[in-house]
Amino acid sequence: MNRFPYNNGHILIAPQRHIPDLENASDEELLEMTKLIREAQKALSLTIKPHGFNIGLNFGRCSGAGLPDHMHIHVVPRWNGDTNFVRVCSDTYLISQSIEELLEILKKTSASNNLPSL
């Protein structure tokens, strides 16, 4: 599986094999993806301390999957008061952080907590 931080601090998990949907994933692939969701949530919790998470699976181009027949999973940190992927409005504040900086912090958190290498 591939996993990497995404634009607003969330992590994208994608199987290395082209799998269009859950029906075509093996039991081993499903287990590995589920474990990676758990570990990504833990790494983000320890690193940026969100109040909650959205976990989303994308199947097919119309759902946002950029590669045809290649599903992926988003692990999205959420905070009280944010709105749909942290759009800034009214009394909601956004703290900017570069994706490179977040990746380095997540790598250190993963290493010190025996999580899979990011």
Distance between CA atoms of residues 113 and 104, nearest Å: 14
Please indicate, yes or no, if residue 42 is contained in any of the structural domains.
yes
Say if 118 falls within a structural domain: no
- To the query of whether residue 70 is one of the catalytic residues in this protein, the response is no
Q: Out of 10, 51, 70, 72, pick the active-site residue.
A: 72
**pLDDT confidence of residue 24:** 93
Q: Is the pLDDT of residue 28 over 90?
A: yes
**What CATH number did the domain enclosing 103 receive?**
3.30.428.10
pLDDT value for 84: 55
Q: Write phi, then psi, for 99 (nearest 5 degrees).
A: -65, -35
- Residue 117 included in any domain: no
Answer whether residue 90 is part of any domain: yes
Q: Residue 31: inside a domain, yes or no?
A: yes
| Within-domain flag for 8 | yes
- Per-residue pLDDT of 48-71, as tens digits, reads 888 999 998 887 766 665 677 788
How far CA 7 is from CA of 12, 16, 33, 107, in Å, comes to 10, 21, 20, 17
The pLDDT confidence band at residue 113, using thresholds 50, 70 and 90, is confident
- How many domains are there within the chain? 1
Model confidence, pTM: 0.70
CB 14 within 8 A of CB 5: no
- Note down the domain range covering 22: 2-111
Residue range 85-93: mean pLDDT, rounded: 48
Residue 63 domain-assigned (yes or no): yes
CA dist 39 to 21, 28, 115, Å?
21, 16, 6
Asked whether residue 116 is assigned to any structural domain, the reply reads no
The whole-chain average pLDDT of the chain stands at: 78
